[in-house]
Structure 1
Amino acid sequence: MAGYQKSLCSSLRRLWPRNYSTTIRQPHIAIVGSGPAGFYTAQQILKLHPTAEVDVYEKLPVPFGLVRFGVAPDHPEVKNVISTFTKTALNERFHFLGNVSVGSDLDVEELKKAYTAVVLDLDGVLSARSFVGWYNGLPNKADLKPNLDTDVAVVLGQGNVAIDVARILLTPVDILRKTDITQYALEALSKSRIKRVCLIGRRGPLQVAFTTAELREMTRLEGCRPVLDKNDFLGLEDLAKMVPQRRRRLTQLLLNTALEKPSQKDAARWQASSKEWMLKFLRSPKEILPDEQSNKVRGINFTINKLVVLRSVGYKSVGLKGIEFDSRKSVIPSNTGQVKNQPGVYCSGWVKRGPVGVIASTMTDAFETGKQIVDDLASGVLTVSPDHTGRHRIVPYLKNKDIETVSFEEWNKINEHEISVGNELNKPREKLTDIAKMLQIAKQ
């Protein structure tokens, strides 16, 4: 790969000789969205192209997308990629422009006039996961105020996010205090009466969508025991041997937890636990039953399913004006990232392939898009115009609309403030959730 990069860089230098003007020999690439796909795409372009400048636009004043707002606070190791993204951001050819909403503050057509190529990374659209945004400090979810004054919580879904929600609800507060969970969420959870979390799935035990690691973590959760109905797993031992290898360990762990006698240590620990979680299968919510006196949920009426039709519910992207969008798949039709019928426009992340995969698969996908852009520059598919001055054209346009952008250096002021407040609370950081406050600190 290193030899390929060296050869490609040499050929690109021949394509843009030294006596060319700066704007011609420096293609400007715009990336919409500062989540993992956006940063990995930027990283690949900067690595493979010797002169390209990359401007990343983000609707919030803070970067990193779902790494900041979607990862559970008690899984800090997943957030380690932020250090990689920060190294990319420190490249002199990288520029972060926060607090700019593409689609309202700025449209794609305006970007196309200013840039050699535009990459759309819209993976940060939150669907039915307001609770995750609440405890992770997503600004528009800070006032969510979930009702925790109950013994039982029901989570509809059996994926990793559902497990995250259950774990946050059941983890002892003293453990959560050491994470970067928001202080208001910590205070609310410290008063929570929830003792039992039921994770409801439309499908059966062989179709659960969480990972082995997530399940194992739940079985070891301090002060909490698993409660699985043996009848849901009887007769599945032989079928478990036929599932794909990557699911075999997960299925076996489920069967062991449900059917085997726990070790003496686990039995003693679970016996002393005051909280519990359970899995319920083949159920779909039919009706939310209200308590007429308290105006709160009294219960849920479920229908019993058969494994005939499968439906996946989760994060999804949304379309932009002027860009073809497949609303059924929630993707922009493309070929290795190049958007259909849109020369110079590319996509990456979940808006490219749909809401599947983890950060590692997002990295591979983003690298593909980044390489495609560099290849198109080298082959002449993408041509650099003197009008392609990137942010130098866009920033004055935004100023005329009284829109303040936030640079990566200004984000660092927000970052330092959050870490400082977190230190006072003996935690990694305390996230700001008020955008006005973010901007105030950024502009100090």
Structure 2
Amino acid sequence: MGRMSETKHDSLWAAPTPDGPIDATITIPGSKSLSNRYLILAALGSKPVTLVGLLRSRDTELMMGALEALGVTCAVDPDNDTTVTVTPPTSGRFRGNVDVFCGLAGTVMRFVPGLALFADDAVRFDGDEQAYARPMKPVLDGLEQLGATIEYHGEEGFLPFTVTPPKTLPDSPAKVSIDSSGSSQFISGLLLVGSRLPAGLELTHTGERTPSLPHIRMTVADVNGAGGHATADEAHHLWSVEHGELQLPERVVVEPDLSNAAPFLGAALIAGGRVRVPHWPVETTQPGGLLPGYLEAMGARITFPEENGVRYCAVESDGSIHGLGDFDLTAAGEIAPSLAAILVFADKPTNMIGIGHLRGHETNRLAALVTEITRIGGQAAELPDGIAITPVPADRLHGAVMETYADHRMATFAAMVGLKVSGVDVVDVETTRKTLPDFVGMWNRLLG
């Protein structure tokens, strides 16, 4: 290995640069998207559910903390902290007159307010200061249409706010119309609780485009896996959920987070070599399941070997990377930063489109990517619905202190750039704890 990883001081991490091709097998923790959906669905049931392989990260800790504030018990197995048993309140009602802290977790701030419909009193929501910039209004408008009262304690449509449940819920099919163009989580947050409404839910998305549709499909599949009956008419932006009791199976195994595999599998293209990730599912509702196809289009060789009953995703590359021209990433915008890091070193330009909603994530990811690519001597520009990356020769790129904006995917983006550009120092790499509690250790293992 060339430049070794080390912490320069409290806030800077020196991204390691390997001397040659890499060869590694990296095990990825459980899916954040599935973990937090299962936690919500387990809380909405009536019997305990044991979640196996649950991601333990800041986002899932915030979700468990939110549920416990509402009277749910989340008991961690003392012998395995990724096994958690969730027990709903015995009364069937969630505890009100409580405070829920969302941190910067979109799934917490957009999924948990729906539970407040079934609380016995008002529930107050707050989060990190940076979370005050993340849009919330569509899901809260939906709750108001269901009879809840929303009181904003700052700017309308953003944290902090209080949700007061209605005295009675609608006894005819609840019809809700929202514009979810800014995030698929607004739709998912309402679909997760639709079964609890006395006559179910009919949800219409009024926007022209539905971002990250696979995440909504994941929610529909998970609701149905818990015994619910959710259906989708995607062509007309309509979803419906019938009234019924939800109950996950007694034991649920969480898939690895396929989006979190992107920095590691993508490293094979940037540095050259081979990277394998075990426990890759044959079928999945995760948007990260599209990753192998994207990497193959960039020139990687993708295989799915099986060893001792374990299926791997293996990515091999000689380090040559093909640009993709116009590249529609609507279905999997969350992996855009990782793909952008690869495309910085491609042989021709790429316009990553369909990801305008990334302006409302942990940070404005489009602006952040342009700023950080430019910072190292690269060339990029924002598009109305995405980002244009024009590669420059690698010898014209240079090291720099790269910002992460309290955004875990910007931190992994910077680490990926550091594979080929020496002298990259990353601000606050520990923001990766949001979904990868031991990212630095995993990254060092990747590079041997």
Q: TM-score range by the shorter chain?
A: under 0.3
Whose strand proportion is higher, 1 or 2?
2
Please give the TM-score of this superposition, normalised by the length of structure 1. Answer: 0.24
Whose helix proportion is higher, 1 or 2?
1
Higher relative contact order (CA 8 A, sep 6+): 1
* Greater radius of gyration (CA): 1
Please give the TM-score of this superposition, normalised by the length of structure 2. Answer: 0.24
